[in-house]
Amino acid sequence: MADETDALYRDMLQRMLLIRCFEERVIELCHRKQLEGLVHVGIGQEGVAVGIAAALASGDYLYGTHRSHGHFLARGTDPGRLMAELAGKDTGLCRGRGGSMHIVDADRRLMTATGIVGGTIPLALGTALAAGENGDVVAVYFGDGASNTGSLHECLNMAALWKLPVVLVCENNGYAEFTPMSAHTVVSHVSVHGQPYGIPAQIVDGNDTLAVLEAGRAAVARARGGGGPTIVECLTYRLRGHYVGDPAAYRKAGEVAEWRDKDPVRRFTALLQQRGTLAANEVEAIEAAARARVEDAVSFMTESPWPAPRSVADYVYA
Amino acid sequence: MTQMRYVDGLRRAIELEMERDQRVIVLGEDVSVGGPFGITAGLLERFGDRRVINTPISEDSIMGLATGAALAGKRPIVEIMFVDFITLAMSQLVNHTAKLRFMSGGQLNVPMVIRVQQGAGGGWGAHHSQSLEAWFHHVPGLKVVAPSNAADALGLLRAAIRDEDPVLFIEHRGLHFRRDEVADPDAIPELGTAKIVRAGKDLTIVTYLKPVWDALAAAAELAARGISAEVIDLRSLSPLDMGTVLRSVERTSRALVVHEAVLQGGLGAEIAARIQEAAFDWLDAPVHRIGAPFAPIAASPVLEQAFVPNAWTIVAGVEQMLGLAPAAGLRAGDARHVT
Amino acid sequence: MIQTQSYSVEARRKFLEQMLTIRRAEEQVIHFATDHKDLIRGHYHVYIGQEASGIGACAALAPDDYVFTTHRNHGHVIARGGELGPVLAEIIGRTTGYNRGRGGTFHVIAPHLGILQTSGVVGGCMPLAAGAAFSIRKRGTTQVSLVFFGDGVLEEGAFYEAINMASLWQLPVVFVCENNGVARELRKSGQCPTSSLAAKQLTDIPNAFSIPSVIVDGADMLAVASAMADAVSMVRRGAGPVFVETRITRWPGNAGTFPVLIGGDYRLEWALSPGSAPQELQEWLQHSDPVALFIRSLVADRVMTKPDVEAMDAQIHQAVGEAARFALESPAPKAEFALDHIFA
Amino acid sequence: MKEMTFAQALALGLTECLDRDPRVTLFNSSYGGLTPYRATYGVLREKYADRITETPISELGYCGIAVGAAMTGLRPIVALATAAFSFEAWPQIVNEAAVACYGSGGQVTAPVVFHMLAGIRGAGAVQHSHAPQAMFCNAPGLQVVAPGSPADARGLMRTVALESNNPTVFIDHQRLQGITGQVDENAGSMPLGVADVKRQGGDVTIVAVSIMVPRALEAAEALARQGISAEVVDPRTLVPLDKATILKSVAKTGRVVVCDESQLTCGVASELAAIIAEEGFHSLKAPIRRVGIPNVPIPWHQNEEDFITPTADKIIAAVKTVCTT
């Protein structure tokens, strides 16, 4: 049992470091103009991505947001094909159609990310309606910004009404795009909106990876057991701007530093060392391995061919 | 040869496909009681509430929800009660339903049907009488079907349900209760095939939905005056069967496009533009368009009638094209007010 | 719960007059639809059984306040002071109607009464009402914006987006939810979820946005009037938005797709002795019809005698009849008019 | 006369509107973000703090709020960022704003401006590159303006925000922001429904909308060097539309290329081509060609994006076809 747990935790840390290295490299590539377009990174939110992914079974579905690199990597998406998609290469997950905001990895039941705030919540409900019959659960990510969209509220109602097997994971990073939550809504926590419909909420420290895992497991178990939807509100923080290149001047002084101390990767590493899961020198090894995978991903991306412009109309219809 | 009402054709198509394919589900506001036109009546009793699902009044989320169900292997038929209410579902329809196959580079497909009914008649006013097909013809990834009779309502709906892509299935409220001969109840036409419903040699009238019947009435009236009009029922608007249209125009050298939707920016503009592009040298006269004026639809019966093309507006349009004197007692200007 | 205020004899007579006016006008609308072929060709919605809600709300408003409503708007327009002639004329699309026949039954709009839009789209008016309130704030007047809507609106995203911003910006708007499918025993209090809303209590939703709310028995004329007076004065004082749920038991005539006058036009005897009414109506008349309940209380309190009520009703009957004739004799709009007023 | 960029001219127009009329108020969807004012927003925000409302991510809600405010004495401008977000707000724009005047028989007006960045912005991908102008042109009750030069941007903003009492969709384009042009700072507002002949020519008429205007002018220069004299007509406003000026030019040249950066099927170019083909039939010497986006969503990568973008080269190619048939 202990070994199993250790193995799981080690694996989770590997994924967190992979995400961190991947996104740091993405930022670098953007600055070097080797990647372009609107790219959103979730550095500082890896704990949520990995905690939730670990709580889901392989048959479960997951829907993302515009900030989903981490959600996908945590679930095992190949970094090479993801990087290739970010670059718009023919070998990308979506053969260059999607780009950073619109990634899909259907083989891993990562149905879609989206450029529309709150846009995947109804999709997730529908998948829950269909997949629930086979005992599969659907998790969907949304940010605090989405709490002001009508679609979240329409969906809270229907999810509760039909007891759908869906886990609504709110990544509350305190900012809707460029604006602090307090300027957008009167509620203190997004999960408050579930109360009128009797949807239970778990508010967790999103930078405490194990807390996310536990909350995620409980919500998934409840959904699988026919208990209906749960909101898991993860309080976290993106250490970078809204998009790569956003100077993020709108943040309070000291805010970033304060959250750096709560960096989920560092906290989880420390925890694993504490409980003896990792030997002191093991972390470097894991990090080195992650960097190596990211470098492979970059070379895969670089060496991959561009899509043929003439293929532009492919996949509009079957 | 059996007789059938348009609504019966629709219900029959849904029943047949639900029997044939367990993945087919029906969602919408009040579908359990049949909706305002009774089309889904009886389905709940027959197929149960796991396959016939009443939704709240949440159009945008219903659209997204059906899309998500399609992604996970269902074949949803969503009913949006009035096409006007699809305006509340534009975000999901345009940003997800229509695009997921493309966005995912072919990893995903969204086999679903969105059933709507539209059209003037009944004095339901500006929020319940619009004809909006042009918007959706402009959205890549969607197919758009518009049957004018019971046989097509039956056959095309079955084809739409079996299609691998999202199909917006547009019914016309004014046709729901008309009765037609259905030659072959098992026929399932291919989407994107137009049909010549009356052969002629002097001009081609291209139309769809209710105006098909007005065009046929006009053609009969014109025949009495020795003018032979060919009438083409497009049946599906996306994909659009321009081949049939162009072959006809090549023979007649004159084309008139008729629809109930607002003329400006309507499907007629697209068809006219393509005809003049491809058949420029054959044309003896400009491609003429008849459609609704650029205004929302008023409730008053007189005002409503003033919007909608009818047999006389079509006759008047043809007279104008052929440079004929208007028929006795009928000036082109009055035509649209005559019923 | 709300403290029911005491109302003067005049005030109570006025309430009854408005109730009977709406009741008779809506009966006339049903006659338009059923006695004349194609006069009202499409669907239409009547306000019978909901009179107290609209009258109580409008009584609390000042002349320059704004009102937004829905496809079920006839009663609201009349309660707000709409004249019978132009209202009935609009409902049947005549040029003498408030919108010159443009809107018909779905869209009776009366800007001179502050009624700026009656939307046929569920939830369509919610942001508009918040917007009018936004403009009030910006212009610094003491007006309020009031919006009537059915319980179905709580299923629409537009509702949430509007109440979130109304609460966030403390806008002077009164949200009046006419929950018109409530079992009689639940009208005063208790949970009453709707078939397609998971919330056990509608007011929990605005409360989650820190919007204060009140639930009132929509069949109790004076209770509604008091609740609305409190709500409107709170909002006018700058307390931000308030949500009022008026709970209404459906009139049996509204059971089907189209309204039906069970047993013909409403008879005052039915109000005084429900036993004399057709079977299907008796329970409603006994417990849920705001008009019957109010007439009985007026008679019991000796505010009016049976003959007073009959005289008042006779006058209203005549006024509605004249208005109906006016509407029917009014010209239909010219076809060319279809092209007017697309742009200002 | 002063040389300025499109973005500067827009900001100038907007500040003039805010200064001249206290009823003008701005709803901005997010701090800078993707809105048309991203370049100049910092300054605006400082100068007009009380006139600007920063909204939650509730397009449906705040567009409706703007309409309601417009019905009751304000003149709101909504900066809707990318035109894709107009789909969130669709019901309020087409069901409420567009019919307010008509539905009330002319009693209610909704003078609101929905300002959005339409079209291919560069890696906007499938959900941030929409060009819905054709759809708005098919929605009676909406005015649709689409300036293609700095001076027009400023002039039209002044007209729709200060003078017009109708709801207006202001079609803007990310790739117009940097283009420069002469702006007469003393000029007032600009009439709606008056097209502008941006370049005189005798052989062919190029009708160009919004971003296609600079591209058409570039094409015309190149064509001139090859001995083809192209006239460039910019409708400037799509609703109302100045048919006369377009048909006058067609009568002169007999050959037409229509350009708009939106999907071709049922696009703006189709409507313009249909009008010209019908009302200018007898002066046409060759079929009208349309230059637009093929019927696909906008792919993310530059290779594919460039491939479907209607460029000056594509206009040149189309002109050559119509001039050789």
- Digit-coded pLDDT (tens) for C193-226: 677 788 889 999 999 999 999 999 999 999 999 9
Architecture of domain B195-335: 3-Layer(aba) Sandwich (3.40)
Q: Is residue D110 part of a domain?
A: yes
Q: Which residues contact B4 (CB under 8 A, 6 or more apart)?
A: B12, B150, B151, B154, B179, B180, B182, B185
Q: What distance in Å separates residue A105's CA from the closest CA in chain B?
A: 8
pLDDT tens across D104-142, in order?
A: 878 889 999 999 999 998 877 777 888 999 999 999 999
CB contacts under 8 A, B 74-133 vs C, are 84-85, 87-88, 121-128
Residue D48's domain comprises: 2-183
pLDDT tens across A189-242, in order?
A: 999 999 999 999 999 999 999 999 999 999 999 999 999 999 999 999 999 888
Q: Is residue C284 part of a domain?
A: no
Question: Which chains are adjacent to chain D, needing at least 3 Cβ pairs under 8 Å?
Answer: A, B, C
The reply to whether C142 touches chain D by the CB within 8 Å rule is no
Q: Is B128 designated active site? A: yes
Q: What distance in Å separates residue B89's CA from the closest CA in chain C?
A: 11
Strand segments, DSSP code E, in chain C are: 66-69, 115-118, 145-150, 173-179, 213-217, 242-247
Q: Which residue of A has its CA nearest to D32?
A: A178
> Which of B304-318, D141-155, D245-259, D310-324 is predicted least confidently?
B304-318
Q: Is residue C96 part of a domain?
A: yes
How many CB atoms sit inside 10 A of residue C306's CB?
A: 14
Could you tell me if D45 and D175 lie in one domain? Answer: yes
| Closest to D68 (Cα-Cα) out of D112, D23, D21, D24 | D112
The structure's pTM equals 0.83
* 8 A C-beta contact, residue C32 and residue C91: yes
Choose the closest CB to A186 out of C159, C205, C210: C210
Please give the single-letter amino acid code of residue C258: F
Query: For residue D300, what pLDDT is reported?
Result: 79
| Closest to A68 (Cα-Cα) out of A85, A55, A54, A56 | A85
Q: Which domains does chain A have, with CATH numbers?
A: 2-302 (3.40.50.970)
Q: Do C198 and A161 touch (CB under 8 A)?
A: yes
Q: Which residue of D has its CA nearest to B129?
A: D95
pLDDT cut 70: percent of chain A above it: 100
Show which of D133, D160, D183 is a domain's final residue. Answer: D183
CB contacts under 8 A, D 9-48 vs B, are none
Q: Do B103 and A96 touch (CB under 8 A)?
A: no
Q: Is residue D191 part of a domain?
A: no
Residue C199's domain comprises: 9-264
Choose the closest CB to A306 out of D56, D58, D303: D303
* 8 A C-beta contact, residue B149 and residue B185: no
Residue labelled with tokens 């709240």? B56
**DSSP code, position D264:** S
Q: Name the phi and psi angles at B2, rounded to 5.
A: -125, 155
Rounded distance between C-alpha atoms, residue C109 and residue C114, angstroms = 9
ipTM for the predicted complex comes to: 0.78
| DSSP-assigned beta bridge partners for residue A204 | A234
Q: Mean pLDDT score of chain C, rounded to an integer?
A: 93
Q: Is B288 designated active site? A: no
| Mean pLDDT calculated for residue range C157-174 | 92
Q: What distance in Å separates residue B96's CA from the closest CA in chain D?
A: 9
Among B77, B102, B142, B162, the strongest candidate for a mutation testing the A interface, having the largest count of A CBs within 10 A, is B102
Instruction: Say how far residue A52 (Cα) sits from the centre of its chain.
Output: 8
Question: Which chains are adjacent to chain A, needing at least 3 Cβ pairs under 8 Å?
Answer: B, C, D
> Which of A35-49, C298-312, D34-48 is predicted least confidently?
D34-48
CB contacts under 8 A, C 316-335 vs A, are none
**DSSP code, position C200:** S
The reply to whether C310 touches chain A by the CB within 8 Å rule is no
Query: For residue D42, what pLDDT is reported?
Result: 79
Alpha-carbon dihedral D21, D24, D25, D27, rounded to 10 degrees:
-150
The reply to whether A308 touches chain B by the CB within 8 Å rule is no
Q: Name the phi and psi angles at D142, rounded to 5.
A: -95, 140
Q: Do D126 and B135 touch (CB under 8 A)?
A: no
Query: For residue B290, what pLDDT is reported?
Result: 96
Show which of D130, D152, D183 is a domain's final residue. Answer: D183
Looking up residue D269, the CATH number of its domain turns out to be: 3.40.50.920
Instruction: Tell me the pLDDT of chain B (339 aa) as tens digits.
Output: 789 999 999 999 999 999 999 999 999 888 888 887 889 999 999 999 889 998 888 888 889 889 989 998 899 999 998 888 898 899 889 988 998 898 888 898 999 999 999 998 877 777 788 899 999 999 999 999 999 999 999 999 999 999 999 999 999 999 999 999 999 999 999 999 999 999 999 999 999 999 999 999 999 999 999 999 999 999 999 999 999 999 999 999 999 999 999 999 999 999 999 999 999 999 999 999 999 988 888 777 788 888 889 999 999 999 999 988 776 444 433 333 322
Burial B6-44 (b: 16+ CB within 10 A, else e): bbbbbbbbbbbbbeeeebbbbbbbebbebbbbebbeebb
Q: Is residue D131 part of a domain?
A: yes
Instruction: Provide the pLDDT confidence category of residue D34 given band limits of 50, 70 and 90.
Output: low
Choose the closest CB to B56 out of C93, C104, C197: C197
| Mean pLDDT calculated for residue range C2-26 | 93
How many CB atoms sit inside 10 A of residue B225's CB?
A: 12
Q: Do B56 and A317 touch (CB under 8 A)?
A: no
Could you tell me if D73 and D179 lie in one domain? Answer: yes
Choose the closest CB to A195 out of C159, C197, C204: C204
The reply to whether C191 touches chain A by the CB within 8 Å rule is no
Among C37, C41, C340, C342, the strongest candidate for a mutation testing the B interface, having the largest count of B CBs within 10 A, is C41
Q: Which residue of A has its CA nearest to C167?
A: A186
Q: Is residue C193 part of a domain?
A: yes
Q: Do B94 and D87 touch (CB under 8 A)?
A: yes
Chain A residues inside the 8 Å CB shell of D297:
316
Among B24, B61, B238, the strongest candidate for a mutation testing the A interface, having the largest count of A CBs within 10 A, is B61
Q: What distance in Å separates residue D155's CA from the closest CA in chain C?
A: 20
Rounded distance between C-alpha atoms, residue B152 and residue B149, angstroms = 6
Q: DSSP alpha helices (H): ranges in A95-190? A: 120-131, 150-161
Q: Do A131 and B72 touch (CB under 8 A)?
A: yes
Question: Which chains are adjacent to chain C, needing at least 3 Cβ pairs under 8 Å?
Answer: A, B, D
Which DSSP string corresponds to A242-269? SSTT---TTSPTTHHHHHHTT-HHHHHH
Query: Active site residue: B17, B29, B128, B319, which one?
Result: B128
What residue ranges of chain B are covered by domains with CATH 3.40.50.970?
2-182
Q: Is residue C3 part of a domain?
A: no
Query: For residue B338, what pLDDT is reported?
Result: 29
Which DSSP string corresponds to B67-107? HHHHHTT-EEEEEESSGGGGGGGHHHIIIIITTHHHHTTTS
**Is residue D312 classed exposed, middle or buried when 0-12, 13-18 and 19+ CB atoms within 10 A define those classes?**
buried
Q: Do C204 and A161 touch (CB under 8 A)?
A: no
Q: What distance in Å separates residue C236's CA from the closest CA in chain B?
A: 32
Three-state SS at D88: coil
What tokens appear for C234 in the block?
């709170």
Choose the closest CB to B90 out of D90, D239, D269: D90
Chain A residues inside the 8 Å CB shell of B77:
none
pLDDT tens across A52-80, in order?
A: 999 999 999 999 999 999 999 999 999 99
Could you tell me if D172 and D206 lie in one domain? Answer: no
* 8 A C-beta contact, residue A118 and residue B92: no
pLDDT tens across D81-102, in order?
A: 889 889 989 988 988 899 888 8
Question: Which chains are adjacent to chain B, needing at least 3 Cβ pairs under 8 Å?
Answer: A, C, D
Q: Give the total number of structural domains in chain D.
A: 2
* 8 A C-beta contact, residue A104 and residue A110: yes
Q: Name the phi and psi angles at C190, rounded to 5.
A: 95, 170
The reply to whether B296 touches chain D by the CB within 8 Å rule is yes
Q: Is residue D237 part of a domain?
A: yes
Q: Which CATH class is domain B2-182?
A: alpha beta
| Mean pLDDT calculated for residue range D161-184 | 96
Q: Is residue D189 part of a domain?
A: no
Annotated active-site positions of D, please? 128
Q: What distance in Å separates residue B108's CA from the closest CA in chain A?
A: 7
Query: For residue A186, what pLDDT is reported?
Result: 85
Q: Name the phi and psi angles at A171, rounded to 5.
A: -90, 90
A203's enclosing H/E stretch is strand A201-205
* 8 A C-beta contact, residue C218 and residue C248: yes
* 8 A C-beta contact, residue C85 and residue C327: yes
Q: What distance in Å separates residue A140's CA from the closest CA in chain B?
A: 12
Looking up residue C45, the CATH number of its domain turns out to be: 3.40.50.970
Q: Do D126 and B102 touch (CB under 8 A)?
A: yes
* 8 A C-beta contact, residue D64 and residue C131: yes
Could you tell me if D179 and D101 lie in one domain? Answer: yes
Q: Which residue of B has its CA nearest to C37?
A: B122
Burial A281-313 (b: 16+ CB within 10 A, else e): eebeebbeebbebbeebbebbeebeebeeebbb
> Which of B274-278, D215-219, D295-299 is predicted least confidently?
D295-299
Q: Which residue of A has its CA nearest to D306?
A: A309
pLDDT tens across A303-317, in order?
A: 999 888 878 778 887
Chain D residues inside the 8 Å CB shell of A99:
123, 125, 300-301
Could you tell me if D67 and D100 lie in one domain? Answer: yes
Q: Give the total number of structural domains in chain C.
A: 1
Q: Do B65 and A126 touch (CB under 8 A)?
A: yes
Could you tell me if D224 and D89 lie in one domain? Answer: no
Q: Is residue D19 part of a domain?
A: yes
The reply to whether A163 touches chain C by the CB within 8 Å rule is no
pLDDT tens across A88-97, in order?
A: 889 999 888 8
Q: Which residue has the higher pLDDT, A292 or C156?
A: A292
Query: For residue C2, what pLDDT is reported?
Result: 59
Model confidence at A286: pLDDT above 80:
yes
Could you tell me if D175 and D67 lie in one domain? Answer: yes
What residue ranges of chain B are covered by domains with CATH 3.40.50.920?
195-335
Q: Which residue of C has its CA nearest to A192?
A: C208
Q: Which residue of A has its CA nearest to C202?
A: A196
Q: Is residue C328 part of a domain?
A: no
* 8 A C-beta contact, residue B156 and residue B208: no
Q: Do D295 and B273 touch (CB under 8 A)?
A: no
Q: What distance in Å separates residue A74's CA from the closest CA in chain C?
A: 32
